[in-house]
Every structure is written in structure tokens, then in C-alpha cells.
Structure 1
Amino acid sequence: MAKSMRLDKLLGHCGWGTRRQLKELCKGGHVFVNGQCCRDSAAKVNPEGDQISVDGTTVVYEAFYYLMMNKPAGVLSATEDRCSRTVLDLLPQQYQGAGLFPVGRLDKDTTGLLLLTNDGVWAHRITAPKKHIDKIYIAEVDGSIPDDIDDVFQSGIVLADGLQCLPARARKIEEQTVEVTVQEGKFHQVKRMCAAVGLSVRALCRHTIGGLRLDETLRPGEFRPLKEEEREFPFMNK
């Protein structure tokens, strides 16, 4: 049986406003629970069993959200920032009170597949290096891609600061394009790995996490909820 929760907490989770705004919304007679006007924003409700509406619009409660975003360049993989836009700023109001956060991070100028959720256990399963989840990037580079780049990356390349990377993979796609597969996410890792073999990354895009590939219909900045079966795709390395 679902636990009861405060009405204002449920409405806030679903993006209907701040606690103060919701208090006024209830006082104004805009909120109904099981067909009855509820003017007490602190009233206890059952998120699974009670029918809740605001001005005739049914409130749909989901405890956890799982979103796929095509992250654009120039946006931070963070929940908030005083100076720059974050990926959460790209989401509509309905998600703003749900406690969403990016699963791992992409650099500000890196684009592509980014997952957002409020399910910490699910996120940890994806980001923990010991889970060995492949993250696949396409890097456009300046410089000559070494013929032995895959051997070098598979050996566990050592970065300029002495950091030892886990074994990774690399595949030359075109003269200035290389696909890189890593299972960890250290700071600027793919760029630093490329720099270690004489390559400068001009553009970087992540397109796959495990068995989950970026939906090519999503334009930069767009997102969609994951289908239920897709939630397990990150744990299925191709």
C-alpha cells in the first residue's frame, strides 16, 4: 500500500508550484481530492489511490522519472548554476519539483545522450565504474589518428597528470573522426585521452550508454521519457 504524503508535496513534485503558491491554490478552492474541494495544502493524500485535480486538470503522480535528453552545447550538466543554463532549465515546469538530476555529466561543450532521473539507485548502477557500462562517444579531432590508437587505449592509457585510465577502446571512422568507448567518466576524460595520443578534440558527442542509443529524432535540447523496457538498456552492453 502506498504511503500517504502531504498534498502540497505531491503537487510540488508534479510541478504545480512552490509550497507557498500551492497553499494559496488550495485556499482559493482550485484543488480537488476525490471530487471534493480541499483547501488544506497539508492534507494527507494517497498518491496512488486518490484522484487529485487542479482546476479540472487531473494530476498524474509518478514517483520516479527517467528521461533521455539530446544535450546541446553550452549547457551545464548540473541541477543549478548562478551563471549558466543547466539541463534542468530545458525541462518544462512539470519536472521542476521532482528532484531530477543528470546521471553522470557531459562537459559544457559536449553534446548527445544524457539521462536524467530522480532514482538514485538506478543512476548509481549506470555511473559506478565497477558496473562496466560502456559509454560511446564520437570525437571530431585535429591531428593524425594513430594506427595503434585502439591498442594504446585498451592497455589503459596514462594521462598527462599520471592518472591511469581503465582499458578503453577506439575505432577510426574517418580521417578526423574517432569513436571512443569508455567505462568511467573522469574529468574531461575522452578529451584528455585523445590529447595523450596527440589529438585535439574539436567536437564531442555521446551517442550510447550500454545498450541505450540516443533517439535520433530528438533535436538538441529536446528530451523524452524512457519507455519502461528502455530503463534496462543501459545495463546491456552491445
Structure 2
Amino acid sequence: MKRERLDKVLANMGLGTRKEVKALVKQGAVVVDGVVANDPGMHVVAEEQEILVDGEPLNYKRWVYVLMNKPPGVISATEDSMHETVVDLLPYEWAIKVHPVGRLDIDTEGLLLLTNDGQLSHSLLSPKKKVEKEYFARIDGRVTEEHVAAFAKGVELEDFTTLPAKLEILSSGENSEIRVTIMEGKFHQVKRMFAAFGLHVSYLQRVRMGPLHLDPSLEPGEYRELTEEELTMLQQHVKGNQ
């Protein structure tokens, strides 16, 4: 386990700035393993030691994994001067740590993973891993088996040709509903793939990333931590795709 400065641990838990948590320590408000801490720079192993702040235990977690149902109108970023971001929806102690794994367009809803585990994030986004991303979409126009075949071959766009994608037609007519699974995550990719055939995506929702599925109990804007089972599945999935 990693040893870290006490003031850094407290600040990372959202208890204040480094200056503010140093003042907390000097006031005698922090107890480590039954002893009042008097040095903000003392090194602790936060996962193993008992740390009390004003008598309340500090439940420290080094790694944070958050599953969110991203709502429309919110951007997949850690900060932005114009729009609300996905981390703005989180409690402060998570928001200061995590970043979104990949991006969903501002008007796209659905599954978004946020974490401070850079290695897992990199693996999930690496083209070499070919992690599937599955979307549900509503399309203005009729989607046909010809489109299914074209997606399966890879769609030629202006700047690149997509990898083969699985397109499933749920309903077809003046407006169609589909599921599409891609192994990339390029800018506006799903929308651009349909636009290549003169079709407009009117609604887009990501429902799966690798083995991780959108929790149907989460309303747009809601979130929860990953379960141990979900985290293990993700870790094993990227390891198996090496």
C-alpha cells in the first residue's frame, strides 16, 4: 500500500484545501490510530490505518469507479466554462479525483464510466483492445438490411473507414429503432455512420461498454459505484483482450 502525506489524503477526500486541512490537523481534529496527529506532513497508509476527523472515521478509497447514466445537455469533461460537466454531478470528494472514460456527445445519453484508475481507462479506450460499445438509437428514416450489410463491412467516412460494426434493426419505417455495436469511439462516429447513408440520428443512448451494462434503475443524471463483480469483469475483459 502507498504511503501518502496526511494533508494530501484529507484534501483528496474533499475535506478542504491543503491549507484548510493543515489547519484541521493543527487544531487537533485529526486522530490517526488513536493518537492525535500534530504533523500535517506525516505519512500514512490511508487504506490500513484508522483516521478520525472530528471523531468521524475517514473511509478512504484510493480508486474510485463510478457508473453514470449521463443525461443530455451535460458534457463528458472534467471542466468547462460554458456547460455543466459530468463531474459537476458528482459529490466533491469524487469530482476532484475522477475523469470520464471516453466521451459521449452533449446530447447523447447513457452509460459513462468515471474513474481515477488511469490504467483501466487507457485499456478500455485502446483501439488494440477492441472493447465493444453498444448503442440504442432512433433514426429518422428507414434502416434496411442493406445498411446492416454495409455496417458489417465497415463504413467509409471522409477521414477513415470504420471497423466492422454490428447493426440490429429493432423496427423499421419512417422512423426506425436500432442497436449498433462499434469497437471504436471516434468523434460523432455513430451519427456519422448513419449520415453516410443520408440518415439522421434523432436519439442516441449508450447501453454497454465491454461487459458493463447500463443500470436500468439509474435515471439520467444518477450514478453509483461499480460493484466488485462489475469491476472484476471489466478488469478481466481488458486483460483477456491483450
Query: Could you tell me which amino acid in structure 2 is paired with residue 109 of structure 1?
Result: D
Counterpart contact for 1:15–1:93, Cα < 8 Å = yes
1:163 equivalent in alignment to 2:137: no
Compute the TM-score of the two structures, normalised by the length of structure 2: 0.91
1:130 is displaced (CA, Å) by 1.4
Partners of 1:9 and 1:118 in 2: how far apart?
16
Partners of 1:225 and 1:102 in 2: how far apart?
14
Query: Could you tell me which amino acid in structure 1 is paired with residue 116 of structure 2?
Result: N
1:28 is displaced (CA, Å) by 2.3
Provide the residue aligned with 1:198 in structure 2.
198
Aligned residue among 128, 131, 138 for 2:129: 131
Partners of 2:6 and 2:171 in 1: how far apart?
56
Secondary structure of the structure 1 residue equivalent to 2:106: coil
Partners of 2:210 and 2:2 in 1: how far apart?
34
1:64 is displaced (CA, Å) by 0.9
1:170 is displaced (CA, Å) by 0.6
Secondary structure of the structure 2 residue equivalent to 1:139: strand
Following TM superposition, the consecutive aligned residue runs of length 4 or more in structure 1 with deviations greater than 6 angstroms are none
Q: Per-residue CA shift, 1:42-81, capped at 9, x if unaligned?
A: 2221223321011111111111111110000011111111
Listed as ranges, the matches of 1:1-238 within 5 Å are 2-97=1-96, 99-159=97-157, 161-175=158-172, 176-234=176-234, 235=237
1:150 is displaced (CA, Å) by 1.4
Partners of 1:43 and 1:92 in 2: how far apart?
27
Paired positions, count: 234
Partners of 1:124 and 1:29 in 2: how far apart?
41
Partners of 2:88 and 2:106 in 1: how far apart?
14
Secondary structure of the structure 2 residue equivalent to 1:88: helix
Secondary structure of the structure 1 residue equivalent to 2:122: helix
1:179 is displaced (CA, Å) by 0.8
Counterpart contact for 1:6–1:43, Cα < 8 Å = yes
1:197 is displaced (CA, Å) by 1.6
Which runs of 5 or more residues in structure 2 are unaligned? Answer: none
Partners of 1:27 and 1:110 in 2: how far apart?
47
| 1:193 to 1:232, Cα distance in 2 relative to 1, 3 A | farther
Counterpart contact for 1:144–1:198, Cα < 8 Å = no
Partners of 1:162 and 1:121 in 2: how far apart?
29
Partners of 1:15 and 1:138 in 2: how far apart?
36
1:162 is displaced (CA, Å) by 3.7
Counterpart contact for 1:146–1:197, Cα < 8 Å = no
| 1:150 to 1:216, Cα distance in 2 relative to 1, 3 A | same
Partners of 2:207 and 2:48 in 1: how far apart?
39
Query: Could you tell me which amino acid in structure 2 is paired with residue 22 of structure 1?
Result: V
Q: Per-residue CA shift, 1:160-200, capped at 9, x if unaligned?
A: x2421111111111232111100000000000001112210
Which runs of 5 or more residues in structure 1 are unaligned? Answer: none
Percent identical pairs in the alignment equals 46
